[in-house]
Amino acid sequence: MRAITFLCLLGATVAQYDWNGGQGTTAPHNGNSGNVCLTDSASCGCCLMQKQMYRMEAFFNLSLNVLEQDLERTAMALNNVRDSRSAFSVSLGSINKHICTNISREKTIIVYKHVFINLGGSYNTDTGIFTVSRSGVYAFALTVYSDAGSPGNSLDACASLTVNGMVVAGPSDRNLEDQEDSATVVLAQRLQAGDKVAVELPPGCYLCDNKAHYNTFTGFLLYATK
C-alpha cells in the first residue's frame, strides 16, 4: 500500500512539472478540487487503482474470515469424531494352556481379560462390562467355543449377549456329535449413553480357550445419534 501511495504522489508531481524548465502551471482551481481525479489524469488513474486495491483487500479479508470460520467448524467436527470413538475387542484366553470355565448353577458375567483394543476405555476388564459412552448404533460380535474333551461327552458351548441385564442374543451349540463346537452371532443395536453391555454364561454352559483366542467379544460404534 505504501508503494501505491508513493506512485500516486509521484504521478501528481510529474503531472505538474514543466520539463522545459521549472515548475509547471498548476491546474485551475474549481469547486471539486478536493477530488484529485478532477485535476489531472495521472492522479485520477492512481485514485482508481487505490479504490480497486481497497475493494480487493475488503474481498480478501471477507474470504479469509469465511475460511477461518470453516476451519473452526471443521476442527470442532474432527474433535467431536475423536471424542466419540469407541471400539473394543477382547478374548477369554491368553495363555498356552487350555482352560475351560467352570459350570455354574447361576448365570455369571464372563470377564474377558485379554484385550486386543479398547479405544475409549469403555470396556472394563475387571467387571466384563462395556458401558456405552455415547448414544448411537453399535455393532457387536460374539463367538463362543467349547471342547468336551472327547467325543460323546456333553458339549454346551453357549453364552448370552445382554444389554442392561436383558438377553438380546444367545449363540449356542449343544450336541454330542463331535468333541468341539463353536457358535457366532453378529448384530447391530441402538443404545443410549450409560447402557451396560455384557456376556453372560448361563447355567450348564462352559467355554474353553487358550492363546489361540477361540472366545472373542467385539463391539464398536457405527455412528452416533446424539
Is a pLDDT exceeding 90 seen at residue 204? no
More confident residue, 160 or 8: 160
Q: Residue 138: its pLDDT value, please?
A: 97
Q: Residue 75: its pLDDT value, please?
A: 78
pLDDT tens profile 136-155: 999 999 999 888 665 556 66
More confident residue, 226 or 163: 163
Instruction: Report d(CA 92, CA 114) in Å as an integer.
Output: 6
Lowest mean pLDDT segment, chosen from 65-69, 80-84, 183-187, 217-221: 80-84
pLDDT tens profile 154-182: 667 889 999 999 999 988 777 666 677 78
Mean pLDDT over 92-110 rounds to 75
pLDDT band for position 26 (50/70/90)? very low
Instruction: Report d(CA 68, CA 77) in Å as an integer.
Output: 14
